[in-house]
A and B are shown apart, each in its own frame.
Chain A
Amino acid sequence: MFRKKHVAPKATYRETFKKGDGATKLSFFLMGSNAFANKQWVKGIVFLLSEIIFFVWFFMSGIPALKLLSNLGPDKTKRVVYDASQGVYVTKQPSNSVLILLFGILAIFMCIAFIWIYYLNLRSTRNNYIAKRDGDHIATNMEELKSLFDSRLHSTLMTIPLLGILFFTVLPTVFMISMAFTNYDRQHPIAFSWTGFQAFGNVLSGDLAGTFFPVLGWTLIWAVAATATTFFFGVLLAMLIESKGIKHKGFWRTVFVIVWAVPQFVSLLMMAQFLDYQGALNNILMNLHLISSPIHFIDNQASPLVARITVIIVNMWIGIPVSMLVSTAIIQNLPQDQIEAARIDGANAAQIFRSITFPQILFVMAPSLIQQFIGNINNFNVIFLLTGGAPMNSKYNGAGSTDLLVTWLYNLTFGQEQRYNASAVLGILIFVISAVVSLLAYRRTNAFKEG
């Protein structure tokens, strides 16, 4: 069966409204009336219902929500009053700006959603109008429902995931972005107000700037080093295991994969103790007489450089198994002819690796490397669980020498100072950095092609 694709002559909405029948005209005000007139009652009910619900909601709570959003609540200060009848003090709470902000954003979402439904309603009306005008078949209820499993399958399958994304990713992200433009902090924990770009000023040139730029620098160095080391040594390890003559390849791979499999909050928390000044590793090294006095790896006495190198090495311990696995698969699928040709020409193993194998792996892995890079910028676990930012740095504000932007963000929110707005600003800046880096990288590699 072939679906006929005939292109209907277009009609403007103006024409639809002017020349349409009563129900069509009514559709511009009472959504779904055209659908009812054409016996598409399912669609009609959905349209009508959403209009009713929307307007009931809009007048009951939509308007107040939007009004409150403009100043995040009128009541900015709390009042403690004595309740003589009970003999206790009670606190009259100020406006809860977090909820006001959240519901304000929700209200905007609702309005956009309604406008979109209204647009769909108009489009449906117009299509029915065109079909009627040209004497074409108007889809029946059953046909419409059936199309959900055929030509409109994407909508059926995407609805629930989209709702999930909307509620649990988009809404929180918009909320976070809005927070950056308020004074939501320790001094304004319940009621806060819009303050424009003030929080951005604090981070970029105010009291946090002295921390932001050095931490940003280390974050970028870390992301490059962590991605490069795990990738490069992962490839080498994979080639070692895959090299001729090594038996029980599966066993060797599994040994390394175990490290990857242990949950990070276990392996990293324990690793922190393992590397402590009085920890097991220093003990082992002392007993083997490899060192004469213990080394400060990641504690507060460590030099920032040693701590940063240690963190990168521990990250290799965790990250190399993954990239080893991935490169193994690529190596197994590499075309052998080029390598054979090179070997016949007398190239040695190192040359083959440098000019054939490695570039090929790099080419295949480029997109996932970029993703790993972004992942490393946001690599919370390794720093938070391993060093907690240590060693401390008296030049920084609320961060240590190994803190990344993302762990600093966490400290600002859940640590001593509770500067929610500043951490929202950091979140936005991290996004900007990630976006710029990946845009440049994707352009460069040109590997990100739309299938």
Chain B
Amino acid sequence: MKIWKKLALASTLVLVGLSAAACSNNSSSNGGNSGSSKLTLWVDTEQVPYYKNIVKDFTKTHKNISVRVVQSPNGSANAKTDVGKDPSKAADVFEVPNDQLGQMAEAGYINPLSPQDTKKIKSDYIDVASKGVAWKGKIYAYPYAQQAQTLYYNKSKLSENDVKDWTTLTSKGVVGTDFTNAYVMWPVFFSAGTQLYGKSGEDLHGSNFASEKGVNALKWFAEQKHNKGVMQTSNALNQLKKGNASAILDGPWNAANIKKILGDNFAVAKYPTINVGGKNVQMEAFLGIEGFAVNSHTSNAKAASQLASFITNKKAQLIVHKEAGQIPVLKSAVNSQAVKSDPVAEAVIEMAKPGNSVLQPKLPQMAAFWNGAAPLISGTYDGKIKPADYMAQLKKLQKSIEKK
């Protein structure tokens, strides 16, 4: 009869059988742990060259471990989704921004550090760094950099004194910034005296921005729409270059680009003070800690931990500072000459101090927070949300980010 159909199906069967076999092979090879091991390390694309050098030193001392340094699919900012797509195919060691740490730990994508390493990080690293990578009492990543936004400005147009206060800053110059970005703008709520997930940043019901203070922060956003010295832009760098903006709020990752644009007129300072709710307060920023975490699916947790620890040691942190302007978090590296003489590092370290910034919370609910906060701030700024609705909107957001 219809031989061909049978043939087709038979070949389907064989194919499926093969694929099933291939898969079961894959999963069973997971536990293997021999003398020599192969590791993969994910870093951002432009970091590949210098991490290759750092890793070379590592393999010199760890002869039985070979390491492949490759770029992560969508960058460390998307670690959560890249790893989540298929944790078993993700690298053994990868970079994690700390606001995703809680979710990745909860999901079981990453392993906590061993007691010895935990002790080391608590004693040798600056205080915020070890806090930034801790989740429910355990440390989940080897920190290597701190990030906080600062004010970059054009020295020829603004003086050091001009940038100390938002009012003078925006009357003498123009600040280019993005009110659609909650990472940049939310910290005004901290300046206004509210908390996100409590003092610790880990308390699910600890937020208190649905309050008079929170409304003050929203009022501040709405006022900025009418401030001639504030420019809403999706491309602050371009505006800075064209001279339309004389200052921008940006992070250390863009410092090199800004230096190129401003040349000798490059200057950096901590955030100015702002007037929220009738009080002059420091404008705050989110403090982020970048770290390397060990994939919980790795077949060689020990070697992976050694690698993660090595690529975040003092020498490595200084290389990364030199190459990419990342600000170290190891006490001895922070105190080194190279970092001390870097004005960007100085400004970021200043911003990292308590009162100037707040550590990004690590709860998994941060996902809902980012989704909800941006439209709220953006809508308030451009007037789509009316003052009468402020309280209701804040309550709605607070409720939605407390959900399990």
Closest chain-B Cβ to A39's Cβ sits at a distance in Å of: 14
* Chain A 107-118 per-residue mask, 1 if CB under 8 angstroms from chain B, else 0: 001100110110
Q: Are A57 and B13 in contact (CB under 8 A)?
A: yes
Q: Are A392 and B379 in contact (CB under 8 A)?
A: yes
Q: Are A392 and B374 in contact (CB under 8 A)?
A: yes
* Chain B 230-252 per-residue mask, 1 if CB under 8 angstroms from chain A, else 0: 00111100110000100000000
| Interchain CB contact (< 8 A) of A42 among B3, B20, B368 | B3
| Interchain CB contact (< 8 A) of B375 among A82, A152, A394 | A394
A393 to B385, CA, bound (A): 10
B354 within 8 A of A: no
Max chain B C-beta neighbours (<10 A), residue from A53, A89, A90, A163 = A89
| Interchain CB contact (< 8 A) of B378 among A155, A300, A416 | A300
A127 to B15, CA, bound (A): 30
A78 to B105, CA, bound (A): 11
* A98 to chain B: closest residue by CB: B86
Residues of chain A within 8 A (CB-CB) of B20 are: 57, 61, 103, 106
A398 within 8 A of B: yes
* Chain B 71-99 per-residue mask, 1 if CB under 8 angstroms from chain A, else 0: 00000000011001001000000000000
A415 to B404, CA, bound (A): 18
Dominant secondary structure at the A interface: mixed
Residues of chain A within 8 A (CB-CB) of B404 are: 187
A186 to B239, CA, bound (A): 38
Max chain B C-beta neighbours (<10 A), residue from A88, A148, A299, A417 = A88
Residues of chain B within 8 A (CB-CB) of A156 are: 4
CB within 8 Å of A: which of B9-57?
Answer: 9-17, 20, 23-24, 27
Q: Are B375 and A392 in contact (CB under 8 A)?
A: yes
Residues of chain A within 8 A (CB-CB) of B384 are: 303, 391, 394
A87 to B2, CA, bound (A): 62
A146 to B323, CA, bound (A): 69
A37 within 8 A of B: no
Q: Are A88 and B16 in contact (CB under 8 A)?
A: no
How many residue pairs link A and B with beta carbons under 8 A? The number is 183
A292 within 8 A of B: no
B208 within 8 A of A: no
Residues of chain B within 8 A (CB-CB) of A49 are: 10
Interface size on B, residues (CB 8 A): 69
A353 within 8 A of B: no
Interface size on A, residues (CB 8 A): 74
Residues of chain A within 8 A (CB-CB) of B80 are: 418
A83 within 8 A of B: yes
B6 within 8 A of A: yes
A116 to B239, CA, bound (A): 67
A87 to B117, CA, bound (A): 10
Residues of chain A within 8 A (CB-CB) of B15 are: 163, 167
A152 to B3, CA, bound (A): 10
B161 within 8 A of A: no
Q: Which 5 interchain pairs have the tightest Cβ spacing?
A: A91-B296, A392-B375, A78-B108, A124-B1, A416-B367
Residues of A participating in the B interface, judged by any CB pair closer than 8 Å: 42-43, 46-47, 49-50, 53-54, 57, 61, 78, 80, 82-83, 86-91, 93-94, 96, 99, 103, 106, 109-110, 113-114, 116-117, 120-121, 123-124, 127, 144-145, 148, 152, 155-156, 159, 162-163, 166-167, 186-187, 189-190, 207, 276-278, 299-301, 303, 390-394, 396-398, 400, 414-418
A-B contact pairs, 11 of them (CB 8 A): A46-B7, A50-B9, A54-B13, A91-B297, A159-B7, A207-B403, A277-B232, A278-B233, A299-B180, A394-B372, A415-B371
Known: A53-B10, A87-B114, A415-B81. 16 other contacts (CB 8 A): A88-B301, A88-B302, A89-B113, A91-B297, A93-B297, A110-B16, A116-B9, A159-B4, A159-B5, A163-B11, A166-B12, A187-B106, A189-B107, A396-B375, A414-B81, A417-B371
